[in-house]
């Protein structure tokens, strides 16, 4: 087994730990490229609440909250965001498209009522009464004028959006992926990024999820198959090393 203890190791059997070290993919690891972009996925109030509270408490007001783990990841993302702003690295934020008649309403309606084809919102959905507030960016990670915001109707930041075109325009080859949820929108984005042949780096301390086991095992899966899961200190060190192209 690797000398470095990873967040997923407590969920793996001894067989799985052996397989992790013998994996074909770990013998050919994903690594940094040359031109990075920082991708901050869905850091909105719905997933965090208005202040740092334990999950059981925060979910009373925000049913999709990730609790204190989410706020810990926000603090680490802020470190990375500040450095990327200082270095003039492309920064892309994503959020949910909750505009009237958004395809998201249609997709959700079909999932909850498979026989109906309607755009009518589900009045029992989380935040149906206050969707605009729920999907405000959390203030510490709110975009500034120079940064790109991608609104999406699916899990992946690439699905039905201009993200790939933006990255091509800036000649990006490396994505530093942060945000939530590890098992949902982060993973979906990482899989698509891998298929598009980006050097895909998931920053371990900068992603979060409601479920501890889902968070850990999805990090393991992404590290095995689609990306490199790297600690924030390694990522910050690479950016500060002068290797990365900026601007």
- Residue spans of alpha helices (H) in the chain: 14-22, 24-27, 45-48, 55-61, 68-86, 103-112, 131-134, 163-169, 187-195, 212-225, 232-240
Give the three-class secondary structure for 85.
helix
- Does residue 185 have an active-site annotation? yes
**Strand order through the sheet with 36-41:** 148-152, 90-96, 36-41, 174-180, 199-208, 228-230
CA 162 to chain centre: 17
Q: Quick check: helix, strand or coil at residue 94?
A: strand
Angle (CA) 162-36-189 rounded to 5° is: 45
Q: Is the dihedral of CA 193, 73, 183, 7 positive or negative?
A: positive
Are 28 and 223 in contact, with CB atoms under 8 Å apart?
no
Residue 3 in contact with residue 21, Cβ under 8 Å?
Answer: no
Choice among 66, 84, 185, 206 that is catalytic: 185
HSE, side-chain direction, 13 A CA sphere, residue 153? 14
- The angle formed by the CA atoms of residues 144, 149 and 153, to the nearest 5 degrees, is 150
What residues are annotated to the active site?
A: 185
């Amino acid at each position: 087994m690797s000398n470095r203890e990873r967040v997923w190791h407590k969920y793996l059997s001894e067989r799985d730990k052996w397989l992790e070290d013998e994996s074909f993919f770990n013998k050919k690891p994903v690594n940094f490229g040359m031109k990075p972009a920082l991708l901050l996925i869905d850091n909105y109030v719905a997933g965090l609440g208005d202040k740092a509270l334990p999950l059981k408490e925060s979910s009373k007001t925000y049913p999709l909250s990730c609790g204190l783990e989410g706020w810990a990841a926000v603090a680490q993302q802020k470190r990375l965001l500040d450095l990327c702003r200082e270095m003039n690295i492309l920064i892309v934020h994503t959020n949910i498209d909750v505009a009237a008649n958004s395809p998201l309403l249609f997709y959700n309606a079909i999932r909850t009522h498979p026989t109906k084809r309607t755009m009518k919102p589900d009045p029992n959905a989380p935040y149906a009464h206050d969707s605009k507030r729920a999907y405000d960016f959390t203030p510490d990670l709110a975009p500034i004028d120079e940064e790109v915001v991608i609104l999406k109707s699916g899990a992946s930041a690439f699905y039905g959006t201009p993200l790939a075109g933006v990255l091509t325009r800036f000649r990006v080859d490396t994505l530093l992926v942060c945000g939530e949820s590890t098992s949902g929108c982060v993973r979906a984005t990482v899989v698509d990024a891998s298929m598009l042949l980006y050097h895909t780096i998931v920053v371990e301390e900068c992603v979060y999820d409601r479920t501890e086991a889902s968070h850990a095992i999805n990090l393991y899966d992404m590290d095995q198959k689609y990306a490199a899961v790297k600690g924030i200190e390694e990522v910050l060190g690479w950016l500060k090393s002068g290797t990365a192209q900026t601007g």
